[in-house]
Amino acid sequence: MAYNFSAEKRGDQDLQILHERLSHFGLIEFFPVEVSGESLTLGISIPFRAMDEPRFENELENVMTYLVSEEGFQVTDLFTGNPVSAGDISGLAKQISG
């Protein structure tokens, strides 16, 4: 089982740089849902077992900061349907693992 998010961004993306950045995160899985010249949608999957890892909270914060704050992705929590804003990032790990 896993906790899932989607991340969408309009406009051209440098997929190589995005892949390189996201490949540094070992606990969180990413997969393309839709890739076109106009938009990119990624699936984000967090296996429940990853939430027990000591580095989970830090890794999730780094991922979401990169996607939401640095790259401007619109990230949606697929469990609640709520968007993830920059202000939500610091408490997100506790919220989804609680």
Angle between helices 89-97 and 56-64 (to 10 degrees): 130
User: 97 pLDDT band (50/70/90 cuts)?
Assistant: confident
Q: What is the model's pLDDT at position 12?
A: 80
Is the pLDDT at 2 greater than 80? The verdict is yes
Q: Which two tokens stand for residue 31?
A: 């997969």
**Residue 80's pLDDT is what?**
95
Instruction: Please state the separation of Cα 15 from the chain's center in Å.
Output: 15
Q: What is the mean pLDDT of residues 57-73?
A: 97
Q: How would you class 94 by CB atoms within 10 Å of its CB: exposed for 0-12, middle for 13-18, buried for 19 or more?
A: exposed
Q: At residue 77, what are phi and psi to the nearest 5 degrees?
A: -75, 115
10's tokens: 């309009």
Work out the average pLDDT over 78-84: 96
